[in-house]
């Protein structure tokens, strides 16, 4: 990873280094350890709070430079609101708020993990550390001349001072692996499309082997042999050959049916012959956000040695308009045997997924399949950037995903499917066409995908609004969000892992 910061745990008794961060409630009360660390600086805090209308609301911060009576040159007070009303999900946000305050050049930060009511629980301290790592990530690899301020990687050493160092480390270890997975996904989304073409993406996914993941890469001849005509049709207009990468993590019982995740990996989407307008076309480097999430998720699950068998499969192509490109009017035969009339070459993601979903369904017979895809602009119109669109043929899976979304903060909103929509993708010449017109564009896309999942419980997440080009948030300041890694890690942890 380029720009990842380190977060360690130290005992409360350790001397604080660098910037000091403490928590207070909405009565500006501190815990005993914090009070001792502040000493006479408490007076400076009260004055600064009054001067700045700081009321200790949850997530609010108060910044005090050169505080009287403290060794630290900077004191950051983070409000928690009423401690009794604190939700578990807030601690990761606190970590994000803290990291957001720190700029490159800050050597060390010490966070006193104590509420007015007493020490943070290990899981809460771990959440703070995870939030710090998520928000601190920056993508600065290609900044060479203006490498300062926000353009420089953060090299700050963060320490979280806790009551029980060993317990905090234990709680953070799996979390930190999940953060690594998120950062892996972001890194892939942020990379430019001249660097990250399908073969290079496959090479990077292959690095998961270091974690014990089995990685198989299908090249064009292999895909031809399998009859992946839908995926290959998209790929044929590019100088860069497509790939399918299948990743397997077997942390569960031998022979137990796996769960499966499938990602759209269009490394660049020009639209093909149905070419897109120039404005914001550069954003289409992020059209592989689904595949990036699957790689990040496999990283997270393997690194934390999740007790589950998982298949991750990604379809990697570049959608380009050269002399050999697919035309509107072409009819392709998918691996399933179903034929597809191409109406719009810009509706390419569903073509890629059609073959990968079918391949995974037939080859691995998973318990369920969840695909992630930056599939339609229409999902941005419907849901904006706060929720991903969820489509599913299985109510239980949909409910579990919705709950995992609430718990992780990576939220999903269920959208309808139904045979009524089928007529929009009926074709005059083939079994179906690849677009269904303007109305319900995200739904007809999902309806198309459903034809390639057989009867396997399946969910489709349209992440066009959440995977990339998102504004800075508490947990992310980079263009790529890594959306989906924490959501699906949560789903797996809650329902599909053997208990330890």
**Site stretch for Zn ion (CB under 5 A), options 32-40, 92-100, 342-350, 399-407:** 342-350
Spell out, one character per residue from 281 to 310, where the chain touches ligand BES: x when CB under 6 A holds, - when not: ------x-----------------------
Stretch binding ligand BES (CB under 6 A), from 66-74, 166-174, 179-187, 342-350: 342-350
Cβ closest to ligand BES, residue 97 vs residue 451:
451
* 3-state secondary structure at position 191: coil
Q: Per CB under 5 A, which of residues 278..307 are in contact with Zn ion?
A: 287
DSSP state letters, 86-154 = --TTHHHHHHHHHHHT--TT--EEEEE-EETTEEPPHHHHHHHHHHHHHHH----TT--SS-SGGGSPP
Q: Which of residues 322-381 bind Mn ion (CB under 5 A)?
A: 346, 348
Quote the CA–CA distance of 500 and 486 in Å, as a whole number: 20
Q: How far is it, in rounded angstroms, from Cα 20 to Cα 34?
A: 10
Q: 377 is in the binding site of which of ligand BES, Mn ion, Zn ion, none (Cβ under 5 to 8 A by kind)?
A: ligand BES
Annotated catalytic residue within 138, 264, 350, 433? 350
Among 175, 326, 374, 447, binds ligand BES (CB under 6 A): 374
CB 367 within 8 Å of CB 257 = yes
CB of 280 to ligand BES, least distance (A): 8
Is 266 or 342 the residue whose CB approaches Zn ion more closely? 266
Q: Per CB under 6 A, does 344 bind ligand BES?
A: yes
Give the DSSP H/E element, type plus range, for residue 189: helix 165-190
2-10, 160-168, 352-360, 372-380 -> range binding ligand BES (CB under 6 A): 372-380
What part of residues 268-297 is at the interface with Mn ion (CB under 5 A)?
Answer: 269
Of 8, 32, 39, 377, the residue at the interface with ligand BES (CB under 6 A) is 377
- Both structure tokens of 206: 């292959």
Place of tokens 């005509």: 229
| Unique residue bearing structure tokens 């269920």 | 414
Kindly state whether residue 416 participates in binding ligand BES, applying the rule CB under 6 A. Answer: no
Distance CA 215, CA 295 (A): 11
Query: Which of residues 12 and 268 has its CB atom nearest to Mn ion in the complex?
Result: 268
Of 143, 339, 385, which Cα lies nearest the Cα of 227? 339
Least Cβ distance, residue 281 to Mn ion (angstroms): 11
Decide if residue 464 touches ligand BES (CB under 6 A): yes
Choosing from 141, 204, 276, 305, which is the catalytic residue?
Answer: 276
- Interaction mask 142-181, Zn ion, x per CB under 5 A: ----------------------------------------
The dihedrals phi and psi of 483, each to the nearest 5 degrees, come to: -55, 140
Q: How far apart are CA 381 and CA 393, in angstroms?
A: 23
Q: Positive or negative CA dihedral for 321, 327, 333, 334?
A: positive
Contacting ligand BES within 242-271 (CB under 6 A): 269
Smallest CA-to-CA distance from 291 within 188, 177, 445 is with 188
Strands 339-341 and 331-333: antiparallel
Cβ-Cβ contacts under 8 Å for 145 (sequence gap 6 or more): none
Q: Beta strands of 169-251 (E only): which ranges?
A: 214-218, 243-250
Q: What are phi and psi of 349, to 5 degrees?
A: -60, -40
Q: Mark the segment that binds Mn ion (CB under 5 A) among 110-118, 257-265, 266-274, 445-453.
A: 266-274
Q: Which of the listed partners (Zn ion, ligand BES, Mn ion, none) does 378 bind, with a CB threshold of 5 to 8 Å by partner kind?
A: ligand BES
449 binds ligand BES per the rule CB under 6 A: no
Contact 487, 397 (CB under 8 A): no
Comparing CB distances to ligand BES, the nearer of 120 and 425 is 425
* Cα distances (Å, whole numbers) of residue 42 to 20, 123, 385, 465: 13, 28, 41, 44
What does the alpha-carbon distance between residue 270 and residue 178 come to, in Å, rounded to a whole number? 32
Interaction mask 235-274, Zn ion, x per CB under 5 A: -------------------------------x--x-----
**How many Å is the maximal CA-CA distance in the chain?**
81
259 vs 291, beta carbon nearer Mn ion? 291
Give me the least distance between CB of 494 and ligand BES, in Å please.
29
276 is catalytic: yes
Closest to ligand BES by CB, 159 vs 374, is 374
> How remote is the C-alpha of 473 from its chain's centroid?
13
**Candidate ranges 163-171, 231-239, 324-332, 347-355; the one touching ligand BES (CB under 6 A):** 347-355
Piece of 123-131, 156-164, 343-351, 392-400 that binds ligand BES (CB under 6 A): 343-351
Q: Give the β-pairing of 259-269 and 74-79.
A: unpaired
Q: Residue 418 Cβ, how far from Zn ion at the closest point, in Å?
A: 24
Binding ligand BES (rule: CB under 6 A), the pick from 376, 450, 478, 490 is 376
Please name the residue that has the structure tokens 């600086």. Answer: 41
Catalytic residue numbers?
276, 350
Per CB under 6 A, residues contacting ligand BES are 269, 287, 344, 346-349, 374-378, 435, 441, 464
């Amino acid at each position: 990873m380029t720009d990842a910061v380190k977060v360690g745990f130290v005992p409360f008794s350790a001397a604080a280094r660098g910037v000091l961060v403490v928590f207070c409630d909405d009565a500006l009360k501190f815990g005993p350890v914090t009070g001792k660390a502040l000493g006479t600086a408490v007076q400076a805090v009260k004055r600064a709070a009054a001067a700045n209308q700081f009321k200790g609301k949850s997530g609010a911060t108060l910044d005090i430079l050169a505080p009287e009576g403290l060794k630290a040159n900077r004191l950051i007070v983070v409000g928690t609101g009423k401690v009794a009303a604190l939700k578990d999900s807030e601690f990761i946000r606190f970590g994000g708020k803290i990291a957001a305050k720190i700029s490159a050049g800050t050597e060390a930060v010490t966070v006193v993990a104590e509420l007015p009511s007493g020490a943070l629980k290990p899981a809460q301290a771990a959440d703070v550390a995870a939030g710090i790592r998520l928000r601190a990530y920056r993508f600065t690899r290609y900044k060479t001349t203006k490498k300062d301020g926000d353009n420089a990687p953060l090299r700050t050493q963060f320490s979280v001072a806790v009551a029980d160092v060993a317990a905090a480390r234990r709680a953070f270890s799996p979390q930190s692996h999940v953060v690594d997975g998120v950062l892996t996904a972001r890194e892939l989304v942020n990379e430019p499309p001249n660097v990250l073409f399908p073969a290079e993406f496959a090479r990077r996914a292959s690095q998961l082997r270091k974690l014990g993941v089995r990685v198989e890469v299908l090249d064009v001849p292999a895909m031809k042999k399998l009859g992946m005509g839908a995926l290959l049709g998209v790929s044929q207009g590019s100088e860069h050959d497509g790939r399918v990468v299948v990743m397997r993590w077997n942390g569960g019982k031998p022979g137990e049916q796996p769960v499966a995740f499938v990602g759209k990996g269009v490394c660049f989407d020009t639209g093909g012959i149905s070419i897109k307008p120039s404005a914001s076309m550069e954003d289409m480097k992020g059209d592989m956000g689904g595949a990036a999430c699957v790689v990040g998720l496999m990283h997270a699950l393997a690194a934390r040695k999740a007790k589950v068998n998982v298949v991750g499969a990604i379809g990697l192509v570049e959608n380009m308009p050269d002399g050999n490109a697919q035309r509107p009017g072409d009819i392709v035969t998918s691996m399933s045997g179903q034929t597809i009339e191409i109406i719009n070459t810009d509706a390419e993601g569903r073509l890629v997924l059609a073959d990968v979903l079918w391949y995974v369904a037939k080859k691995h017979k998973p318990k369920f399949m969840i695909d992630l895809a930056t599939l339609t602009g229409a999902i941005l119109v419907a849901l904006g950037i706060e929720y991903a669109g969820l489509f599913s043929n299985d109510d239980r899976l949909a409910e579990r995903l919705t709950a995992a979304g609430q718990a992780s903060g990576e939220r999903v909103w269920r959208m309808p499917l139904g045979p009524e929509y089928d007529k929009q993708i009926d074709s005059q010449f083939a079994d179906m066409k690849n677009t269904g017109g303007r109305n319900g564009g995200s739904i007809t896309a999902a309806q198309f995908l459903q034809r390639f999942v057989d009867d396997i419980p399946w969910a489709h997440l349209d992440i066009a609004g959440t995977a990339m080009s998102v504004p800075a948030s508490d947990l992310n300041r980079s263009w790529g969000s890594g959306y989906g890694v924490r959501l699906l890690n949560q789903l797996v942890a809650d329902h599909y892992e053997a208990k330890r």
